[in-house]
Structure 1
Amino acid sequence: MKKGMVLLTGFLLAFSIFVVGCGKESTTTNSIQLSVDDTNIQTGETITATIQGKTEPNAKVEITYDPVGMGYEEDIKKLETTANSDGNFSQDVDWQTDYTLIAKKDNNKSKKVVVTVTHSDAAKQTIDKNNTENEQNYKDNAKSISYQMLNKNADTYADEPYYIKGKVVQAIEESGTTLMRVNVTEDENGYYDDTMAVIYDGYTDAVENDIIEAYGTIYGNYTYETTIGGEMRIPGLNAESINIIK
């Protein structure tokens, strides 16, 4: 009797494993087609490029890329488009980087396809022209908005274009963002005073005591905790670019 019970228990256990295994197999995704017209494309004069391809009709196409280029998960951006009834899709992009595509429909998905986008000569000329115009605009605005005006209440000038040149007092990188304190007023002896916070969405090689210039928009009042537990309010800058001078 006990032997029969052991055999029955073993049979039921084997059957349950078979059922579970079949259940897992039934949820396995099947690969669907995904192809692109070109895996290496260039941006045009407007600094955009169009990724085009074909997949299953009405499938979703996810496009991920890393604009910072450091490989951190928190920096990954995602675009999404939908193929038409013929399976054709297109997506405009404007970063010079690798884009990873994957198509999904129901419980099925495709293999990944990588498209590399680079800037054409025409795009580079447009970028240089835009940078020159923007830099001059930032510098002109910085002349009309003094540090004393910002220090009084930087919130008044939030989102205004701005330019600073100064000495890095402290630089911290965390979760894809760089935060620096920079002294922006140089006296006749070469010493820097008047501290601003510089917030940059990305990483920079700038470290303490480097002289930098930064272009961006005024953040407003930035408050941080001091080493003795108090709070300090200083003007802030959302930097779009940071250049190390020395």
Structure 2
Amino acid sequence: MRLVVARCSVDYEGRLQAHLPLATRLLLVKADGSVLVHSDGGSYKPLNWMSPPCVMAEVEPEEHEAADGVVAVWVVAHQKSEDRLRVRLHEVLHDSSHDLGVDPGLVKDGVEAHLQRLLAEHIHTLGHGWSLVRREYMTAIGPVDILARDAARGHVAVEIKRRGEIDGVEQLTRYLELMNRDPHLAPVTGIFAAQEIKPQARVLAEDRGIRCVVLDYDALRGMDDTESRLF
């Protein structure tokens, strides 16, 4: 991972236009190719970002940019769309790279783990004729919570969160991009399932063809009430 603290401005072009005026920010360049722009506020969410697959090139500033004090320019282009970031660096305050190694992934507990188990046991709640392939289906970038087949026998990757936010949609998107390269699985569709899904996350998921499902934890638990059964 590369960490850069710099005075910079950022322009995003693609499905929408966005501009971040000149300010001091943290720029993250991850090993998976993603580039994220952070401020010193707003919790963990980046102000802007480019998800993989993308490529980044550091180029000389244009004449008018150099006249404005720009010392370097990052051009980040998505490889499957017209989206691109142009980061204009005016002053670099810190620049370092760190090898973080292979991450073991998130170990889930509490409600999310229970939701995963319950939904796997009652996979038919996602649709008539559905079947479970397996829980924690391992990929090269981490485990998918649930891999299932729909009524048409197509593969479906299910990502489960207690609270569904944009980062969860991005995580599922990365899984889907990878899994759809496997001819034994493709085509693979996605479901983003959570007890609560934020409006922004729903918009992003639906824009990417990902189905959103709101889970009722109490209802899932009540589907197999052992205390009420005769046998």
- TM-score of the aligned structures, taking structure 1 as reference length: 0.29
Structure with higher Rg: it is 1
Greater RCO (Cα-Cα under 8 Å, separation 6 or more) = 1
- TM-score of the aligned structures, taking structure 2 as reference length: 0.31
